[in-house]
Amino acid sequence: MSESLRLVKRIWAFIRREPLDDDLEDELAAHLQFAIDDNIAKGMTPTEARRIALISIGGMDQARYKHREARGFMTLDIFKQDFKYTLRTLWNDPSFTVVAVLILALAIGANIAVFSVVNTLLLRPLPFPNAHELVWIAPPPTKCGMSCATYSTDAYDEFRINSRSYQDVTGYFAFSGADNLSLNLGGAPLPATSIDVIQNFFQVLGVQAQMGRVLPPWSFCRTPGGNDSSTLTQTLWARHST
């Protein structure tokens, strides 16, 4: 018999477990009765004849287990029994069920949140061309954590001039807060979040503007009375362009 056909028969036996169990009980009962009658014919008492017959069979429960193991999937049978027992336990103790569901929901939510962060920062590549070539330059860790993982502009200029290991170096101001500026688009001022960047920021990342252009280097040269230049995100543009 091929493995495929044996697998199909096992699956079919698992689905039709109850009818097959009924046939098994009838077969075991008939076999046991035949053995008892044979022992009585040999001169044994009915009690002794039944005991010897059960010994010769190996026990009714053992025979059932061996038959079910040979015809189906015992792992699935055990899982089904455990699942039914779990449902009965939860149904009979509602307070425990509520606590268990809440704990499970909190655990799943925490795992999802952690995975989202790990996936965004570590697993999923950055949305830039040749993202595998980008590196983040930071000083050695200190007790103040990320607050001290910064460089002054003078240190940046010196590092960029003297660097021989990188194609280019850029930077940004790491301590921008939410809604740290207001946009005046002709109506009421709109709160927005901005991040100050160095003039070659977009060029180093390889980012191109969907409309218009990113900040060119000359736009960082301020003139008296001039305005700062900025690049808008697609979300902000779509929200307020109409």
Residues 28, 68 within the same domain? yes
The tens digit of pLDDT for each residue in 46-93 reads 888 888 887 877 777 777 767 666 666 667 777 778 888 888 888 888
Residues 35, 110 within the same domain? no
Residues 7, 82 within the same domain? yes
Range of the domain at 104: 93-124
Residues 151, 235 within the same domain? yes
Q: Answer whether residue 139 is part of any domain.
A: no
Residues 160, 225 within the same domain? yes
73 closest CA partner among 31, 30, 20: 20
Q: Answer whether residue 105 is part of any domain.
A: yes
Tokens representing 175? 């301590």
Residues 117, 178 within the same domain? no
Q: Answer whether residue 130 is part of any domain.
A: no
Cβ atoms of 195 and 176 within 8 Å: the answer is yes
Q: Answer whether residue 179 is part of any domain.
A: yes
The tens digit of pLDDT for each residue in 163-220 reads 888 888 888 887 777 777 787 777 778 888 888 888 888 888 888 887 777 776 655 5
Number of domains within the chain: 3
Bridge partners for 204 per DSSP: none
Residues 97, 29 within the same domain? no
